[in-house]
């Protein structure tokens, strides 16, 4: 600090001298006797002298600017080096590690006043709060008659005498971008034919309407059609016959998807539509996601959509909302104190979105108006009453039968405007179906509309046609709050379509792919940031011709593959095995491409002299390295390597950066050559075996916001800055061989351990010596411990036809304790930067890590599990955490986390069909 002050004073003195000299020169010019001429007339020679002196003065000013700039840089450099080597962690007499206080905070505390939600919401309370609704319902599943999950609906024929019923029949085709078939297989077998027929059949009658949702399919089709067909599509969109609803790359799952990815696929679809068709979606359409999150209405509202439709909601909620005419509502965020997040939502009332469950409450009747099921076709009606083609002879009877269903359905809503979807999965894939549906329905519409005594106006429409008519009834602009409709907050999880069939198994099905999704998402964000920064630099320097601009195509492809995986049969894990593998290959391919983008951008950005930049794909300047990567840097030749670390967050962070090396004799230095705190640990291949000649070095580094940091790895026998972790291995009486690494201290104990604890400056965590599992947590400054019991449980599945699977969680009763044949091996690692407890059971290994660093990483425990239950059939393993709040004497809600075999198996390995999940709450 003394040197820092001296340098600062010296620099300030030089600056003052420079300014004073400049002042004297100016004063000399002002008092030059040659300037005082009578009448202000200057001789030509003296004007020349004055011009020379002005030029000299300008030159002196530039020189002074350069001097001051050099002084400033020197002061900064000297102060950076004058701080001396960092203070390293050290041992206390009791054996625990202590970190020095950090020079600047790694995180800021948040005041309750900074968060509107913490204030409890000062705005108007919603009419419907879903937690309250759930608590009111008996979930008794009574038989409702023809509408099995509902009730009988009656009406008076005169109800529409003063205000006719307005019916919008909305043809649609739900195209899953992967499920039973892969994305490409579906496209070539069905989707391309649907869209090709759509262009032809819609132009035959301007009264026809159609909606489309999945832009992933639409863009693929667009790339393979002629310019004439593209122009026809634009005309259909322009005149309102074809509507693009939601406009996302897919119809995303709303339970497993991260909101970053949900936004990303929405942006990708919207930008494609705006670029190629010149339209932006107005209404949202979500008929197949397995439950609905309150995140989706928020994203749609912020994307300027004014209305939305949902379908898969617990049948008891549908029945309750139908009975109270609350199936349409303004959906508001729970934290919103006003109406800024409100969006109008229509909930479909019946079992499914197929034709038998959309025209009215009786599927036996509605199925008779699905004209794809006409006799002679490939599908028929399960209720054994087939449809009949509409003729002059039967149109009156057929129209009256259908109108009865329309009227009954309209009684569930508050308005005299009715929405009737007309479609199903991959419908309209043949021209014959287009003709059958549109021609027969048009004959019915013509009959109904020509009979004023029926008081109905029926027509084909789009989703926005329906919403516009609804808004027109009350005379307000679409998007504003509709008077007379309730305000709802909350979400619609968990979903059950019948009995106790809760769709909660998919929360954890195929966890390996769910994890890969998050990895790709993180790499995509990092790659986009680095590519943008590098491109901006190269353009400003006029060097963009030397930069691989083709990387943008890799980014686009990765965004689209990530978007595709948000589909409600992809990230959910509910597709067939071959389809899941296809998704996995796409994700892995994009992950490798993103690493190339990151390497290319980091290469350019870390160079001090950008003129030396040269892109050579055959010889990349940087290579990917990670703690879990396939490779690790060799320190043999050359004697040192450079590690480039990128922080994709917009906040500076103090983090532990892990890297694998092939030598324990390593020093990690900063860019300035200062040693950084580092912890040396063994690399384990099993509970008792270390990997030979591979070590993990964990470096404590402060990473700039959205910035790169270069670390130096030096091979050195001087290990003053390399702090080694120590290991205690408890074998619990098992006779197991142990492979040690000499440089990492290890103590092997044949018997079980007593209970033990780990601690840092924020937390004190205690573990069972026998199981290695967490028992209690105490925060710094608190006297009371919070008991946290944790145990592994096993669920079976029912012996009936319906079992737990990719979708459902149907256990055979209460979970039973997991009973492995051998006690676990418990390994305790303690070090200056982190400590951890690893427990190895027969089918699962757990690691609980506690970081001993300032900032957010040290505020919590990191828990991970690796599972392999391939030798179990129809069994599910769950980790049960039960936390008791000692202060209040209350039992906090427990959580069961499903653990599944997909973590450890290759894509082509069969696994147990029971994926498990969170236990549904039976209310």
Of the options 3.10.129.10, 2.70.98.30, 3.30.420.40, 1.10.287.610, the CATH number for the domain spanning 725-886? 2.70.98.30
Averaged in consecutive runs of 10 residues, what is the pLDDT profile of the chain (923 residues)?
51 54 48 43 54 64 58 46 50 53 55 54 81 94 95 96 97 98 98 98 98 98 98 98 98 97 98 98 98 98 97 98 98 92 97 98 98 94 96 98 98 97 98 98 98 97 97 88 94 96 95 96 96 94 90 97 98 98 98 96 92 87 60 56 92 92 90 91 92 93 93 78 87 89 89 89 92 92 87 92 92 94 94 95 95 87 92 90 61 42 31 30 28
For residues 483, 488, 493 and 496, what is the CA-based torsion angle, rounded to 10 degrees? Answer: -50
| Tokens matching residue 752 | 């079980």
For 356, phi then psi, to 5°, come to: -60, -20
* Contact status, residue 572 vs residue 495, Cβ threshold 8 Å: no
* Contact status, residue 511 vs residue 373, Cβ threshold 8 Å: no
* Contact status, residue 153 vs residue 411, Cβ threshold 8 Å: yes
Give the Cα separation of 730 and 747 in Å (integer).
Answer: 9
Residue range 508-612, CATH number: 1.20.1270.50
Which residues face 457 on adjacent strands?
A: 166
Residue 300, Cα to own-chain centre: how many angstroms? Answer: 16
Helix (H) / strand (E) element for 616: namely none
902, HSE (Cβ side, Cα atoms, 13 Å): 24
Q: How many CB atoms lie within 10 A of CB 94?
A: 5
* Contact status, residue 263 vs residue 299, Cβ threshold 8 Å: yes
For 854, phi then psi, to 5°, come to: -65, 155
Residue 412 vs residues 133, 531, 612: alpha-carbon distances, Å: 18, 53, 71
| Tokens matching residue 572 | 């959910």
Give the Cα separation of 151 and 159 in Å (integer).
Answer: 20
Give the Cα separation of 349 and 321 in Å (integer).
Answer: 8
Give the Cα separation of 851 and 842 in Å (integer).
Answer: 27
| Tokens matching residue 391 | 């003729």
| Tokens matching residue 895 | 């959580």
Q: Is 346 helix (H, G, I), strand (E, B) or coil?
A: strand
Q: Angle 215-222/259-276 helices, nearest 10 degrees? A: 30
For residue 316, give every residue at least 6 positions away whose Cβ sits within 8 Å of its Cβ, in sequence order, or none: 137, 139, 141, 149, 496
Residue 352, Cα to own-chain centre: how many angstroms? Answer: 27
Q: Is 502 helix (H, G, I), strand (E, B) or coil?
A: strand
Give the Cα separation of 563 and 393 in Å (integer).
Answer: 51
Q: How many CB atoms lie within 10 A of CB 143?
A: 9
Nearest to 695 by CA among 713, 671, 669, 710: 713
For 336, phi then psi, to 5°, come to: -85, 115
Q: Which fold has domain 164-246+281-506?
A: 7-stranded beta/alpha barrel (3.20.110)
* Contact status, residue 708 vs residue 602, Cβ threshold 8 Å: yes
Beta-sheet pairing, 666-669 with 90-91: unpaired
For 460, phi then psi, to 5°, come to: -75, 150
Give the Cα separation of 738 and 736 in Å (integer).
Answer: 6
Residue with tokens 């195929």: 510
Q: Is 140 helix (H, G, I), strand (E, B) or coil?
A: coil
Nearest to 810 by CA among 502, 488, 444, 508: 502
Q: Is 585 helix (H, G, I), strand (E, B) or coil?
A: helix
923 burial (CB, 10 Å; 0-12 / 13-18 / 19+) is exposed
Of the options 1.10.3720.10, 3.40.50.10490, 2.60.40.1180, 2.70.98.10, the CATH number for the domain spanning 627-724? 2.60.40.1180
Residue 33 vs residues 23, 161, 723: alpha-carbon distances, Å: 18, 106, 74
- DSSP class of 349: -
Beta-sheet pairing, 890-891 with 876-885: antiparallel
* Contact status, residue 306 vs residue 467, Cβ threshold 8 Å: yes
Which residues face 619 on adjacent strands?
A: none
| Tokens matching residue 362 | 């009786």
Which residues face 666 on adjacent strands?
A: 715
For residue 425, give every residue at least 6 positions away whose Cβ sits within 8 Å of its Cβ, in sequence order, or none: 173, 174, 175, 176, 354
Residue 191, Cα to own-chain centre: how many angstroms? Answer: 27
Angle at the Cα of 215 from the Cα atoms of 210 and 219, rounded to 5 degrees: 105
Which residues are part of the catalytic machinery? 288
* Contact status, residue 445 vs residue 192, Cβ threshold 8 Å: no
The domains of the chain are located at: 164-246+281-506, 508-612, 627-724, 725-886
Q: How many CB atoms lie within 10 A of CB 722?
A: 20
Q: How many CB atoms lie within 10 A of CB 468?
A: 20
Residue with tokens 């990230």: 571
For residue 423, give every residue at least 6 positions away whose Cβ sits within 8 Å of its Cβ, in sequence order, or none: 170, 171, 172, 173, 174, 353, 354, 355
Position 913 scores a pLDDT of 30
* Contact status, residue 363 vs residue 356, Cβ threshold 8 Å: yes
* Contact status, residue 362 vs residue 146, Cβ threshold 8 Å: yes
Give the Cα separation of 247 and 304 in Å (integer).
Answer: 12
Give the Cα separation of 1 and 845 in Å (integer).
Answer: 49
Residue with tokens 């009995």: 499
Position 743 scores a pLDDT of 86
For residue 325, give every residue at least 6 positions away whose Cβ sits within 8 Å of its Cβ, in sequence order, or none: 412, 413, 414
């Amino acid at each position: 600090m003394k040197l820092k002050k001296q340098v600062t004073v010296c620099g300030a003195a030089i600056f003052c001298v420079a300014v004073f000299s400049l002042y004297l020169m100016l004063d000399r010019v002002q008092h030059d006797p040659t300037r005082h001429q009578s009448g202000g007339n200057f001789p030509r020679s003296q004007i020349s002298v004055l011009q020379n002196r002005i030029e000299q003065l300008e030159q002196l000013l530039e020189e002074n600017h350069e001097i001051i700039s050099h002084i400033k840089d020197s002061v900064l450099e000297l102060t950076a080096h004058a701080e001396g080597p960092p203070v390293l962690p050290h041992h206390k007499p009791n054996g625990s590690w202590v970190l020095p206080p950090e020079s600047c905070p790694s995180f800021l505390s948040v005041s309750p006043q900074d968060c509107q939600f913490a204030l409890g919401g000062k705005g108007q309370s919603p009419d419907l709060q879903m937690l309250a609704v759930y608590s009111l319902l008996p979930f008794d599943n009574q038989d409702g008659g023809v509408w099995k999950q509902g009730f009988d609906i009656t009406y008076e024929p005169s109800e529409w005498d003063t205000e006719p019923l307005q019916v919008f029949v909305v043809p649609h085709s739900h195209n899953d971008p992967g499920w039973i078939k892969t994305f490409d297989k579906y496209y070539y077998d069905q989707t391309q034919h649907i869209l090709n027929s759509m262009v032809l059949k819609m132009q035959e009658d301007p009264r026809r309407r159609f909606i489309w949702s999945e832009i992933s399919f639409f863009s693929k089709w667009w790339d393979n059609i002629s310019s004439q067909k593209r122009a026809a599509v634009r005309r259909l969109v322009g005149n309102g016959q074809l509507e693009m609803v939601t406009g996302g790359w897919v119809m995303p799952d709303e339970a497993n998807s991260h909101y970053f990815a949900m936004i990303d696929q929405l942006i990708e679809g919207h930008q494609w539509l705006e670029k190629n068709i010149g339209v932006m979606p107005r209404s949202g359409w979500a008929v197949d996601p397995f439950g609905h999150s309150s995140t989706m209405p928020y994203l749609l509202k912020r994307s300027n959509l004014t209305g939305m439709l949902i379908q898969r909601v617990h049948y008891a909620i549908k029945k309750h909302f139908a009975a109270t005419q609350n199936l349409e509502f303004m959906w508001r965020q729970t934290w919103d104190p006003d109406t800024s997040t409100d969006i109008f939502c229509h909930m479909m009332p019946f079992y499914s979105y197929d034709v038998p469950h959309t025209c009215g409450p009786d599927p036996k009747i509605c199925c008779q108006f699905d004209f794809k099921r006409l006799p002679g076709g490939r599908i028929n009606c399960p209720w054994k009453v087939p449809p009949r083609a509409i003729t002059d002879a039967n149109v009156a009877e057929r129209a009256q039968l259908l109108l009865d269903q329309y009227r009954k359905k309209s009684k569930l809503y508050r308005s005299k405007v009715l929405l009737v979807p007309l479609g199903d999965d991959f419908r309209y894939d043949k021209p014959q179906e287009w003709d059958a549906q549109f021609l027969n329905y048009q004959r019915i519409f013509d009959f109904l509309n020509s009979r004023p005594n029926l008081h109905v106006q029926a027509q084909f429409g789009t989703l926005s046609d329906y919403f516009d008519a609804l808004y027109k009834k009350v005379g307000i602009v679409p998007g504003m709050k509709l008077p007379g409709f309730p305000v709802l907050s909350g979400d619609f999880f968990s979903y059950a379509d019948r009995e106790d069939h809760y769709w909660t198994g998919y929360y954890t099905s195929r966890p390996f792919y769910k994890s890969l999704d998050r990895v790709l998402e993180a790499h995509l964000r990092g790659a986009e940031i680095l590519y943008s920064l590098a491109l901006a630099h190269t353009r400003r320097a006029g060097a963009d011709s030397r930069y691989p601009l083709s990387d943008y195509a890799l980014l686009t492809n990765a965004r689209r593959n990530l978007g595709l995986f948000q589909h409600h049969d992809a990230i959910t894990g509910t597709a067939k095995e071959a389809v899941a593998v296809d998704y996995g290959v796409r994700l892995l391919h994009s992950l490798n491409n993103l690493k190339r983008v990151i390497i290319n951008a980091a290469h350019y950005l870390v160079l001090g002299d950008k003129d030396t930049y040269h892109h050579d794909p055959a010889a990349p300047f940087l290579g990917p390295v990670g703690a879990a990567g396939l490779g690790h840097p060799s320190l043999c030749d050359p004697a040192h390597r450079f590690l480039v670390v990128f922080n994709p967050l917009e906040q500076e962070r103090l983090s532990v950066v892990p890297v694998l090396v092939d030598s324990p004799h390593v020093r990690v230095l900063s860019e300035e050559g200062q040693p950084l705190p580092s912890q040396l640990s063994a690399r384990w291949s099993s509970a008792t075996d270390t990997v030979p000649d591979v070590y993990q070095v964990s470096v404590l580094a402060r990473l700039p916001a959205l910035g790169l940091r270069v670390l130096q790895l030096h091979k050195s026998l001087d290990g003053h800055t390399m702090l080694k972790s120590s290991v205690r291995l408890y074998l619990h009486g098992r006779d197991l061989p142990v492979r040690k690494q000499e440089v990492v201290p290890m103590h092997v104990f044949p018997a079980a351990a007593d209970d033990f604890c780990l601690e840092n400056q924020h937390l004190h965590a205690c573990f069972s010596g026998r199981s290695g599992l967490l028992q209690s947590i105490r925060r710094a400054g608190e006297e009371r411990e919070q008991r946290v019991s944790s145990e592994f449980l096993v669920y079976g599945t029912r012996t009936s036809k319906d079992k737990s699977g990719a979708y459902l969680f149907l256990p055979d009763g209460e979970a039973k304790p997991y009973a492995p044949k051998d006690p676990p091996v418990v390994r305790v690692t303690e070090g200056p930067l982190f400590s951890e407890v690893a427990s190895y059971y027969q089918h699962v290994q757990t690691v609980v890590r506690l970081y001993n660093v300032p900032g957010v990483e040290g505020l919590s425990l990191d828990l991970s599990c690796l599972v392999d239950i391939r030798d179990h059939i129809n069994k599910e393993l769950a980790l049960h955490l039960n936390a008791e709040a000692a202060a209040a004497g209350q039992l906090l809600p427990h959580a069961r986390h499903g653990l599944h075999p997909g973590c450890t198996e290759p894509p082509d390995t069969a696994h147990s069909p029971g994926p498990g999940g969170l236990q549904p709450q039976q209310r």
